[in-house]
Amino acid sequence: DAYISFRYSKNFALGCGLRYNLGNHVPVEGYSNFLWVILGSLFELLRLQITFWMPLISAFCGTILLFLVFDLLRRRLRVNPLASGIATLTLGFYPPFAVWSSSGLETMAFALVMYLTFERLVLRPDGVDAVGASIFGLLLVLIRVEGIAWVVVLAMLAFVSRWIAGQRRIRPFLVFFITIVVGYAIYFGWRFWYYQAVLPNNV
């Protein structure tokens, strides 16, 4: 599956557009990871080996996520170092986590950005980080097609949890909502114009 994205990246870098097969016909959106394809095209433009660098980026995102999980356990949840280390290593050696960390696909980047969005919406003790949540939330909806659904879930979870905690400021949620809606509307409008389809072909 990674090579499908890589082919789109290569053709885009060559100036042929985001298409799998070259030609003048309406292109087919055979990927569901827009930002990942764009990132791959940068490596193609720089004439760097995409089959080396994209799996490396996946592994890097997985590693950062492990560090963030360990930090959450130790610094915020006050779990002792041994238990935190065991939990983090268990996640790192969990077969699906290990496999997707080296796949060359966007899975680990998606998981990392989802955690960062969740952290800035829900976990910050002093309230929602509107700017950070908006940035990572927008990245989330652009990395994978289902990112928009996760943004809705995370926003609802954040609103309910903050309301229960007595943190009832509406402005951070308005900033988040407006950023996501405007950003996604622009992206969706371009997608529909370019591919003449509501959803990617592989969804």
Domain spans of the chain, in order of start: 2-195
d(CA 127, CA 78): 20
Give me the count of residues in the chain. 203
d(CA 40, CA 97): 21
d(CA 172, CA 31): 32
Q: What is the pLDDT of residue 46?
A: 96
Q: How confident is the model at residue 24 (pLDDT cuts 50, 70, 90)?
A: confident
d(CA 138, CA 181): 9
d(CA 30, CA 20): 7
pTM of the model: 0.93
50 pLDDT exceeds 70? yes
Buried/exposed 83-113: b ≥16 CB within 10 Å, e otherwise: ebeeebeeebeeeebeebbebbbbbbbbbbb
For residue 142, give both structure tokens: 């652009």
Q: What is the pLDDT of residue 136?
A: 98
203 pLDDT exceeds 70? no
d(CA 89, CA 68): 13
151 pLDDT exceeds 70? yes
Question: For residue range 74-131, what is the model confidence (pLDDT) as tens digits?
Answer: 998 999 999 999 999 999 999 999 999 988 999 999 999 999 999 999 999 889 999 9
